[in-house]
Amino acid sequence: MDYPAPCFPTLSETGFDLYGPVMPDRPIILSVPHAGRTYDADLLAAARVQSSVLRRLEDRWVDLLAHPLMKRGVSVLVSRAPRALIDLNRHEREIDPGMIADLPRDAKLQSSAKLRGGLGLFPRRLPGAHELWRGPMRWVEARRRIEMLHRPYHAQLADMLAAARQAHGHAILVDLHSMPPLASPAAGQAAPNIVLGDRFGRSASTRLMTLAADVATSHGLIVAQNHPYAGDHMVDRHGRPEQGIHALQVEVDRALYLDVTLDRPGPGVARMQAVITRMVEALAAELPRAGYALAAE
């Protein structure tokens, strides 16, 4: 049984729901791009694996962690399209040529380590599942997904960030994700359970990164910065600190809020909701000084 949304979203026909105002009344916006968990019959018919394998691509139930913020009127954009359909945290040209049956000769694609590992714009492989799909899709279908899902999501985010900057002098994007439990970095050391990414200082002020880390640490969590997740297309695309738009990726260990199977909401949901709420509130109240020198951070 799905948990109900805590408030009525502004429904979109483009694969996402917007909670809170379109014109943000504070400088911070949340993005939850891997929350989609609805698989239509066509997508399941195209898969050569069970739906349970496709669900491994999800940031399972991570949107629950944003529910208190939705209730407080924070603008939160949540994808309804599952990551198996399209990954909003990849560039629209980050396409594995083997995924397209009739790829045009003049198609301009770009490669990446994630794509070569099977996790491009259209995910192809997972550990233990060499091929997720029965066969490649047509180019027209790839373009449809990009134009109906990827571009509208990013356009909505860009518009909201621009509006927040106009109203408040700056804007902050928090891109919310979840991750499998990490291995210990060394013998005797506990593994991080929160990873913050700012593209190694390129997508956000170090001041904001430090504040987010301090909040998580004050709640007893072990924080890593930019390793093993430095942020991907979402923060790279929208984070422009020199223009007053900052973007942070937040990865939360699923064991902190899911049950022991890492499939259903568990007893840690309330605690992690409090952590994310406090982090967002602290970032929203942190007003970067005009002309703050990035080189001095």
pLDDT in tens, 36-48: 999 999 999 999 9
In a domain, 264, yes or no: yes
Instruction: Report the alpha-carbon distance of residue 275 to residue 277 in Å, rounded.
Output: 5
In a domain, 63, yes or no: yes
pLDDT at 53: 96
pLDDT at 129: 87
In a domain, 1, yes or no: no
Are the beta carbons of 196 and 224 closer than 8 angstroms? yes
pLDDT at 296: 41
pTM: 0.92
**């939705």: which residue's tokens?**
70
In a domain, 3, yes or no: no
Q: How far is CA 185 from CA 204, 216, 224, 272, 279, in A?
A: 26, 19, 11, 23, 25
CA 94 to chain centre: 16
- Residue 172 sits in a domain of what CATH number? 3.40.630.40
**């400088």: which residue's tokens?**
27
- Kindly write down the DSSP assignment for every residue of 199-229, as one continuous string: TTTTSS-HHHHHHHHHHHHHTT--EEESSS-
Instruction: Report the alpha-carbon distance of residue 185 to residue 90 in Å, rounded.
Output: 27
Instruction: Report the alpha-carbon distance of residue 142 to residue 96 in Å, rounded.
Output: 11
pLDDT at 108: 95
Token duo for residue 292: 């703050």
State the pairing for strand pair 28-32/171-179. parallel
In a domain, 55, yes or no: yes
Q: For 176-212, what is each residue's pLDDT tens digit?
A: 999 999 998 888 889 999 999 999 999 999 999 999 9
In a domain, 4, yes or no: no
**Ranges of residues in the chain whose predicted pLDDT is under 70:** 1-13, 287-297
In a domain, 45, yes or no: yes
In a domain, 65, yes or no: yes
Strand ranges (DSSP E) for the chain?
Answer: 10-11, 16-19, 28-32, 75-79, 171-179, 194-197, 223-225, 245-253
Domain count, the chain: 1
- Kindly write down the DSSP assignment for every residue of 64-111, as one continuous string: GGGHHHHHTT-EEEEE-S-TTT--TTS-TT---GGGBTT--TT-----
State the residue range of the domain holding 190: 10-296
